[in-house]
Homo-oligomer: A and B are copies of this chain.
Amino acid sequence: MKTNFRTSEKELEILGLIHARVAMSRAELVELTGLSAGLISAVVRRLIASELVVESGLEPSKLGRRRVALKLCAGTSYTIGVEIGTFFLRVVINDLAGNVCHKVETRTILSDGFTRVMERCFKTIDQAVSDSGINKDAIAGIGIAHSGVVDSNQGVVLSFPRPGQMAEWRNVALREMVEEKYKVPCVVEDSVRMAALAEKQVGIAVELSDFVYIRIGMGIGSCIFIDGEPYRGAGGSAGEFGHMTVDENGPLCYCGNNGCLSALASCSAIILAVAGAIRKGVHSKIQEMVADDLDQINIEMILQAAVENDSLAFRVLNDAAVHIGVALADVVNLLNPSVVIFSGPLFQSNSQLMLDSIQRVIRQRALEKAANEVQLIVSTLGADAPALGAARFAASKSIAKLYAQKN
């Protein structure tokens, strides 16, 4: 029998789009793909017949007939998203219809070493699966969002953010490990890229095709979306915003360069700066907040102190914002983006403080036209964005297999 693979390509394309946007009407599919309404209608009919897609209520409308929402069939297939970060290990279990079925968050103890961390990771996954009550065989794939430099083609972690302290984390074949244990396809990707993907699919960037996504946490990373896709560059490592040089003669960064943004404006750098100043005798209410135990300082405290007009907190945050602004002005000049999305603890609350300073520096340093055209906004997703993105990314990869099974 002759395989009609052109049509099945279209069916896969549509399936992917419905998944990426969680819910989608035929009319939207027409707008998005540029295909004719007739074809979309036929393709969707076949997808519904194969029980891959279901109609799921009507979307609201101002005028005229309402659009029928289409979703992937839930309950048949699930994916797991895992974030392995410097401080947290997060696991989410997703169905294909866009529902988060289960999520877990624990702390990572990196000093235990790689093997122990992975043992812990697997245990957390197993626990999450059994707690969620989902049949193990229904797991279609696993996505790992990993901090540091990742070779996503090989599924290998090339280095953890702090390689000096984490030598054993070099060239780790993470995908292989996971696939061996769980016998399902695994994708390993950069953490920030996965968070950006989640933002694009279910966050504030749903309608945006081109944007810059910046995450400032213990490290600083970014993901540049171009034409609806994360830009990967030649070797898949595009987006290293955190290692832009802000001060040619600045402090040494673990990457070997001097004056990287990460070393000046990451949460770690901010905490370090505050603790250092207090040690030097600068007065701050943060000192009281932690009852003199400076190791307890965290970024939320500093933000809170700044809101309460603590001058040290304010100054340190402002310095960080200026550094971020200097680096971002370069990006604005280079890429002329319409939107920059910020995420991470610095922007979870009181984000206006940071945004205003960053904006000011951009207006001052970037070319007028580009500076006026860029809009700075804040992520709407929470801390589980990377894991969520990883789960969704894994799902997008497994859809082809699912489709093949049903046909």
Contact = CB atoms under 8 A, between A and B. Distances in A.
Interface of A: 149, 158, 210, 222, 224, 226-227, 231-241, 243-248, 255-258, 326-327, 329-331, 333-338, 364-370, 373-374
A235 B245 CA distance: 26
B149 A238 contact: no
A246 B244 CA distance: 10
A137 to B, nearest CB: 37
A243 B336 contact: no
A247 B244 contact: no
A334 B334 contact: yes
Contacts of A330: 244-245, 327, 330
A333 B369 contact: no
A336 to B, nearest CB: 3
Contacts of A241: 333-334
Contacts of A233: 210, 335-338, 370
A333 B246 contact: no
B337 A370 contact: no
A140 B115 CA distance: 68
Contacts of A327: 330
25 contacts: A149-B367, A158-B369, A210-B233, A222-B334, A226-B231, A233-B337, A234-B337, A234-B338, A234-B373, A235-B369, A236-B336, A237-B370, A237-B373, A239-B334, A240-B336, A243-B333, A244-B334, A245-B329, A248-B326, A255-B367, A256-B365, A256-B368, A257-B329, A257-B366, A330-B330
Nearest to A240: B333
B237 A365 contact: no
A238 B367 contact: no
A51 to B, nearest CB: 31
Nearest to A246: B248
A150 to B, nearest CB: 10
Contacts of A336: 232-240
A329 B234 CA distance: 15
A226 B234 CA distance: 11
Given A231-B335, A336-B235, A240 B370 contact: yes
Query: Max chain B CB contacts within 10 Å: which of A233, A326, A327?
Result: A233
A327 B326 CA distance: 13
Contact of A243 (B224, B366, B373): B366
A246 to B, nearest CB: 7
A240 B334 contact: yes
